[in-house]
Copies of this chain bind each other. A is one copy, B any other.
Amino acid sequence: MRIGMLIIGSELLQGKQLEANLHFLGGFLRTYHQEVTAAQIVSDKKSLIQEALKSLYQNVDLVVVCGGLGPTPDDITKSELANFFNKPIRYSQSAEEVARENYQRMGKVYPDQHTYSQLPEGFTPLSNNAGFAPGLWFQDGTHTLIALPGVPREFRQMLEDHLPRLVQLQNTQRLNLVTVRTKGIPEEKIFQDLCPSLWSELEKFGEVSSLPQLMGVDVGVKTTSSPEIIYQMIARTALAPYVWSYGMKSLEEKIIELAAEKKMTFGFAESCTAGLCAHRITNVSGASQVFWGSVVSYDNTVKKNLLKVKPQTLLDHGAVSLECAAEMALGAREALGVDVAISLTGIAGPGGGSIQKPVGTVCIAVATSGGHQTKILNFKGDRENLKLRFSQAGLYLLWETLSEMTCA
């Protein structure tokens, strides 16, 4: 099935808001072994919406429209869909009923003569379990169109509630998006020096891709074969020692699974990442089983008071040093009462760098019952990117440490 997405909203083109619904739709469809073919993002402008609808409608079987269904005059999706299909907009009892129920669910009274009661002829309203605006569904021969609100919470809820019910996602060819995640080797090296025939070998299974990520390269194959065959094949190549994950699971999910399996608790002492490690870990439901806490010690007084970093260590080596990282990890293990503590202290910039310790330097330590280890790393990037890369390095060290530990 060819699936296209039309995203309507000037704010997404003006840098006011990050578009995240395409990412969600892609992940949602992956569980149905489907993918989005193409997406267009246009401002709230009639001619652009018409043109995008036309081009998508020619190329796909299902169009998912998102945005522009609200109550203000800049919400023109409904009227533009009516124009596109040449249908009049009329009062619809079923639309009024759906809207009325949406309002009831949100604990509000439905206002009389609301535009939500109007619908292009032949369209079906869709209930919204997370907001006020109804969605729209239109079946036109073999083509299906579904229009949902742009607010991410509403879009997600309605996608889950309606899409599998309305569209036979299973009826078509099942695609597996197989991914193997590597670390420590650039993509050029993989396919030119290490495994020169890997690309063509993988191409026998389907479409191959190589994607540089935060920490290493993801190698992907879009295939109708089973993932296991591809995993086994890659496990026999020279790439195998660089693979840290067969499959798409995130590092956070792998850490929580591993810690739960080994009955280990963990926590962080975060200076430069300032809570990002803890935030990422707790995005995974079930984190509370194994994650106990983090001391965000941005200021040195917090390092001294809560993590028992010695003032002399800070004087002699500075806050960004292996010595300070070690004391932070040991202090956090003690203060948080966990089996494994990871500490991070570094320079995310733009200020604060020096020749010896440029922006992008991070010192990381891990403390366990067996002692502690430290490492210093250097990355390039802007402030937000560095925080992310630092946190990834810290989480990876945590995962490595947990991998090597025996059960508590």
Give the shortest distance, in Å, between A155 (CB) and chain B (any CB): 11
Contact check: which of B199, B212, B282, B383 meets A387 at CB < 8 Å?
B282
Q: Is the CB of A38 within 8 A of B23?
A: no
The interface residues of chain B lying within 8 Å CB-to-CB of A88 are none
The interface residues of chain B lying within 8 Å CB-to-CB of A278 are 270, 274-275, 296, 298
Q: Is the CB of A15 within 8 A of B11?
A: no
* A100 on the B face (CB < 8 A): no
Q: Is the CB of B292 within 8 A of A275?
A: no
Report the stretch among A236-244, A255-263, A301-309 that lies at the interface. Answer: A301-309
- A383 vs B17: C-alpha distance when bound (angstroms): 20
* A316 on the B face (CB < 8 A): no
Contact check: which of B13, B72, B349, B380 meets A38 at CB < 8 Å?
B13
* A184 on the B face (CB < 8 A): no
The interface residues of chain B lying within 8 Å CB-to-CB of A12 are 22-23, 26
Q: Is the CB of A24 within 8 A of B20?
A: no
Give the shortest distance, in Å, between A244 (CB) and chain B (any CB): 16
Residues 1-49 (chain A) with a chain B CB within 8 angstroms: 9-20, 22-30, 35-44, 48
The interface residues of chain B lying within 8 Å CB-to-CB of A306 are 293, 295, 306, 335-336
Residues 276-291 (chain A) with a chain B CB within 8 angstroms: 276-279, 281-283, 285, 287-288, 291
Q: Is the CB of B40 within 8 A of A13?
A: no
- Assembly of this chain: how many copies? 2
Q: Is the CB of A211 within 8 A of B11?
A: yes
Name A's interface SS: mixed
Q: Is the CB of A298 within 8 A of B288?
A: yes
Bitwise interface map of A from 176 to 213 toward B, beta carbon under 8 Å scored 1, else 0: 01010000000110011000000100000001111111
The interface residues of chain B lying within 8 Å CB-to-CB of A177 are 14, 16
Q: Is the CB of A27 within 8 A of B15?
A: yes
| A–B complex contacts, Cβ < 8 Å, 7 sampled | A11-B220, A72-B187, A152-B385, A282-B387, A283-B384, A285-B350, A293-B296
Beyond contacts A275-B278, A285-B349: 16 other A-B pairs, Cβ-Cβ < 8 A, are A14-B29, A14-B36, A37-B42, A38-B40, A39-B40, A51-B59, A70-B210, A70-B212, A72-B210, A153-B380, A267-B302, A282-B348, A285-B350, A292-B298, A293-B297, A294-B298
Closest 7 CB pairs of A and B: A275-B275, A15-B26, A15-B27, A275-B278, A274-B282, A294-B296, A293-B302
